[in-house]
Structures are given as structure tokens and as C-alpha cells.
Structure 1
């Protein structure tokens, strides 16, 4: 600030108000690298989201808190600087000096407004990113549930197919004395055929219903 004022003797001649302006101008100018850093962080978050990395919700939340704190610092600045302009006009300084200082303050106010607008846009972007992250996480959970459901359908289908021949075999394995098939020469092929037919019928039913 001192070097800037030393290089601008006309501004320095405006007195203490010029020094105050120079300090505020320097403070606001140093906000812009912070804004650029936040922009880079938001760009990285966007890239991670579209790459399918959903483990960024915590980072989005933490960055949102930083943006809110930053917004609290920059949002009041335009109004404060407007009050400073009104104060300068009441100081009774030389008209040309007051006009020059007022023009400089208008420029600083413009910078402050730009800062506030960009920070506000960051809040909106991060809010959208957090919503998108939640939506993608919900979508992934739904897809996982659907995939698991398809796996359960396949497992249940094959279990039913394998259970039916086992049931038929279990009945024939009970050693009943009175069973028509025991004295029938085709009883054994009949039992095997019944197992195959039942299993094949179940397979076709499950296949038609897209369980397999």
C-alpha cells in the first residue's frame, strides 16, 4: 500500500481518506486469488463427480462452509464503501481531489460487487454439486439394489430347478411298498424323465420371465 501511494502522489495528496481507500483496495485485490482458488476447487469437484467419484460430499460441505465464511466477509463491503463515499463528500476536501478519490472508490466498489457476486455463484454451484452428489449416490444405490435383485432371481430360479428333481428323488427314496412304478419296467426311466421335464419346465418359465 505504501509503495502504491508513493507512486501516486496525486492520490496521496487527498489525505487520510486516500490512505483508507488504498488499504481497502489492497484488501479487496487480495480476495481475488482466494476466489480463483475456490474456483479451482469447484472445478475439481465437478470433474470428480462426472468421473463417478461420489466420495466428495464431505469436501463439498467443507468448501461450502468456507464459501459462507468468505461471503460474510465480502458481502457487506459495497455498502461500507458507499458510506465511505458519502463521508468523503462531507469532508470538505478540494473538489478535484474529492472527485478523483470518489472515482477510485467507485472502482473499488465495482471490485467488491464482483467479489460478492462470484462468491454467491460459488454457493449456488456447491449447492447444486451437493444435490448432484446425493442424486448420483441414490442412483448408484438403486442400481446396486437392482443388480442384487437380479442375482437373487437367478439364485432362486436355480434353487427351484435343483429342488424339484431332489423332491421327486426323495419321494422315490422313501421305500414305499405300494408304488405303481416299482413293478413297472419303465418306472426308473419315468422317474428320471419326470425330473428332467420338471426341471426343464421350470427353466423355461424362469427364462420367459427373464429371471435367467
Structure 2
């Protein structure tokens, strides 16, 4: 459950803490803060931490259950934030979404991870070598997590744009009649999931960038404003990608419909040709069938020129039918 738990003071990592009951006491004594990383804890596993740090029950429930919208809430002296990092699996065109629940107090940071993301470990490693940032305490940790997550949003947006360009080339390329609806719909569904991770985070970032969160020092607000700007850019790119996918899907469906109509018209033309040739072939077949019967009273049956007369008659009728079908564009 506990990925890491350490005491930080004077911009440095002091030592790992195995006894959470003394964590806050040491943080207050050393004028530092405790940073705890948890991975998908159960309610029972989280109970001791919740009691020791006096965490609000509503936030605890959200952190344990996960599947929350990105948000920022204040419970007395504790701030609770939910962030959804994302990762794009390009070869299957899937947006994988994880979740981080972050509790912040004056002397502690608790990060609860759900899903597969390296952001908590990356942020911890980066801050442990950046003493100037680590001196700012819990706000610096929250900023680093948000900044790293939003950078991932921009990376995923760029990867989706590459796939969008590929889809456009396929739809409007050399084989416009092919049906690409399945791939377009799948990517559109992933973009919708991506939007649910990004767009709700803009409002909490706006609060952090302005004067709405009292525990954020004034000098830190420009840093959060920079993250907010990047998040807005990612949100705009998502909206543009979604609109483009809608247009491409409509164009693809229109092209498929046109192609189906073309095939139908061609099939009708082929059926007319087949019917015309069948009608022409029916004439000699019918006459040959009549003269092949065992009757003596057929016209020109016993005449020396009878065969040629019948053959000429067949030819005249066939030519007449052929000209009639040609005049009506059946042949």
C-alpha cells in the first residue's frame, strides 16, 4: 500500500518514516513536511493514516473509491485535489487514464494513486534534486504533479493529432470509398474519455492561479497560471480534435453512401445488359426449339431454302432487338 513515506525539511529528504504516528511530530519539530505515497489502499489500510492526519471523511471516500472528476476542495486546514494523468497507447489508439488523489496540509502531502502512472515517482525524484522548489513545501508538490500531468495532456494531444492526420489521408485519399467508421468512432470515444480528464481540471487550476485558494502564496500563482494556460491549450486541442472527428465521420459516411449508390447504379446497368442479351438469345433458342419438334406442318419445313429463310429471320429479329436495346441504352 505505502510506496514511499519520508520526511523533508530545509529542501532535503531527511529519512524514510515507517511509523506514521510520529510523522507529523517530526515534521513540526524539523519545520518540514511528510510526503506519503499510497497505491490503491483499502478503507481499512487507509484508516490509520486518515485518523493520524485528521483527514475529512468525504475526501477519504473519494480517494479510496476513485473514479472522481478532477477537482479541488477545501476542508478546514486540509486541501483535497483529484488529478487524472493520461497515457496514449499509440499502436491500439487507446487513452489510458489513471487517477491521483492528493491531500495537502501545512505539514504533509498524501498522494493516493489508482491505475498505472509514474507521475508520483517522477515528481518525487525531480523535487528531491531541486532544493529550491522543495523549500516551498506541499504547494510545490501539488504544482509539480499538476504540471507533469498537464504536460502529458499536451503529449497525448499531439499523438492524437498524428492519428487524425492519418485518418484524414485515408478518408480523402486514393481509396475514398472504404469504410473507416469503426476506427473513427473508436478514436472519438477515446477523445471523449480524454476530455473528461482534462476539461474539469481547468476550473481548479483557475482557482489556484487566482486569489481563490488562501494557502497558495502570491509568488506561486504565476507557476499555477502557467499550468492553467497549458491545460486550456490541451482542452482547446481536444475540442478541435472532437469536432474534426465528427466532420471526418460525416464525410466518410457520405463517401460510403456515394460509393454504395454508384455500385447500385452499376449493378442495375449490368442487369439491363444481361437482360437485353438474354432477350436477344431467346429468339434463336425459341425458334430452334420449335423446329426441333416432331411436326411436319412448320413453315418452310420441306423447302430447299427453308433453313436459310429461318436463319435470316432469326438474324433480322436479333438485329432489330439489338438496335432497340442500344437506342434505349440497355447495351
Q: Does TM-score exceed 0.5, indicating one fold?
A: yes
Is residue 52 from structure 1 mapped to residue 175 from structure 2 by the alignment? yes
Render the CA deviation track for 1:40-71: whole Å, top value 9, x for unaligned.
Answer: 11111111222326253222122111111110
Is residue 193 from structure 1 mapped to residue 317 from structure 2 by the alignment? no
Render the CA deviation track for 1:138-186: whole Å, top value 9, x for unaligned.
Answer: 2222222222222212211111111112212223333444345345554
Match of 1:181 in 2: 300
Render the CA deviation track for 1:50-93: whole Å, top value 9, x for unaligned.
Answer: 232625322212211111111000011111112223344x3384
Match of 1:157 in 2: 276
Bigger mean CA offset, 14-23 vs 112-121: 14-23
Match of 2:195 in 1: 71
Q: TM-score, normalised by structure 1?
A: 0.84
Q: TM-score, normalised by structure 2?
A: 0.56
Match of 2:247 in 1: 128
Residues 5, 22 of structure 1: 8 Å contact kept: no
Q: How many residues align?
A: 205
Bigger mean CA offset, 19-28 vs 32-41: 19-28
Q: Evaluate the alpha carbon distance shift between residue 124 and residue 197 of structure 1 in structure 2; reply closer, same or farther with a 3 A threshold.
A: same
Bigger mean CA offset, 26-35 vs 138-147: 138-147
Aligned-residue RMSD, C-alpha: 2.5
Residues 300, 306 of structure 2: 8 Å contact kept: yes
CA distance in 2, matches of 1:92, 1:42: 39
**SS of residue matched to 1:81:** helix
Q: Evaluate the alpha carbon distance shift between residue 43 and residue 92 of structure 1 in structure 2; reply closer, same or farther with a 3 A threshold.
A: closer
Render the CA deviation track for 1:17-57: whole Å, top value 9, x for unaligned.
Answer: 23322321121012211111111111111112223262532
Match of 1:34 in 2: 156
Bigger mean CA offset, 121-130 vs 193-202: 121-130
- The one of 178, 185, 189 aligned to 1:61: 185
Residues 127, 134 of structure 2: 8 Å contact kept: no
CA distance in 2, matches of 1:149, 1:45: 32
Q: Structure 1 segments of 4 or more deviating over 6 A?
A: none
Residues 139, 216 of structure 2: 8 Å contact kept: no
CA distance in 2, matches of 1:5, 1:208: 88
**SS of residue matched to 1:75:** helix
**SS of residue matched to 1:30:** helix
Unaligned residue ranges in structure 1 (runs of 5+):
none
Residues 179, 256 of structure 2: 8 Å contact kept: no
**SS of residue matched to 2:293:** coil
Greater share of strand residues, 1 or 2?
Answer: 2
Greater share of helix residues, 1 or 2?
Answer: 1
* Higher relative contact order, structure no. (Cα contacts within 8 Å, ≥ 6 residues apart): 1
CA distance in 2, matches of 1:51, 1:38: 22
